[in-house]
């Protein structure tokens, strides 16, 4: 796989990302990207993806981000498993989650 780098002009990249409309081809590339990065696709599929990436900076940016994420996940080796959270901490998390859901419901209701 070729190196995927498009960081020459950050402002151009930002403008390009904001103006980009994802085509059906972008969606197809997204669906196959993990397999592509894992070298699990046939050569003709790889060639199609590379052809699309050559002309689509937002997809290149996404592919590079996914590649980095996958690499970090492969290298991660926890030295020890964390302890389960305590009852009090669990209760606080549940309460915070329920409060967040209630706040969402309040803001999503139509004005009366």
Asked if residue 61 belongs to a domain, the reply is yes
Asked if residue 21 belongs to a domain, the reply is yes
Asked if residue 101 belongs to a domain, the reply is no
Rg of the chain over CA atoms, in angstroms? 21
Asked if residue 97 belongs to a domain, the reply is no
What pLDDT, in 10s, does the model give residues 18-74?
A: 556 778 889 999 999 999 999 999 999 999 999 999 999 999 999 999 999 999 998
pLDDT category at 96 given cuts 50, 70, 90 is: very high
Query: For 17-26, b where at least 16 C-beta lie within 10 A, e where not — what string?
Result: eeeeeeeeeb
Asked if residue 81 belongs to a domain, the reply is no
Strands (E), the chain: none
Asked if residue 34 belongs to a domain, the reply is yes
Report the distance separating Cα 38 and Cα 74, nearest Å.
11
CB atoms within 10 A of CB 35: 13
Does residue 94 register a pLDDT over 90?
yes
* Domain coverage including residue 21: 10-75
Asked if residue 3 belongs to a domain, the reply is no
What pLDDT, in 10s, does the model give residues 9-18?
A: 555 445 544 5
Count how many domains the chain has.
1
Would you list the DSSP string of 4-32?
Answer: ----S-HHHHHHHHHH----HHHHHHHHH
Report the distance separating Cα 33 and Cα 49, nearest Å.
8
Asked if residue 23 belongs to a domain, the reply is yes
């Amino acid at each position: 796989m070729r190196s995927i780098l498009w960081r020459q002009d950050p402002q151009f990249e930002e403008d390009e990302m904001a103006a980009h409309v994802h085509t059906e081809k972008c969606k197809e590339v997204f669906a196959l990207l993990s397999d592509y990065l894992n070298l699990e696709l046939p050569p003709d599929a790889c060639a199609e993806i590379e052809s699309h990436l050559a002309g689509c900076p937002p997809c290149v940016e996404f592919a590079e981000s996914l590649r980095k994420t996958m690499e970090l996940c492969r290298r991660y080796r926890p030295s020890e498993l964390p302890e389960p959270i305590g009852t009090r901490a669990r209760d606080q998390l549940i309460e915070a989650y329920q409060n967040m859901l209630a706040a969402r419901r309040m803001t999503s209701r139509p004005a009366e």
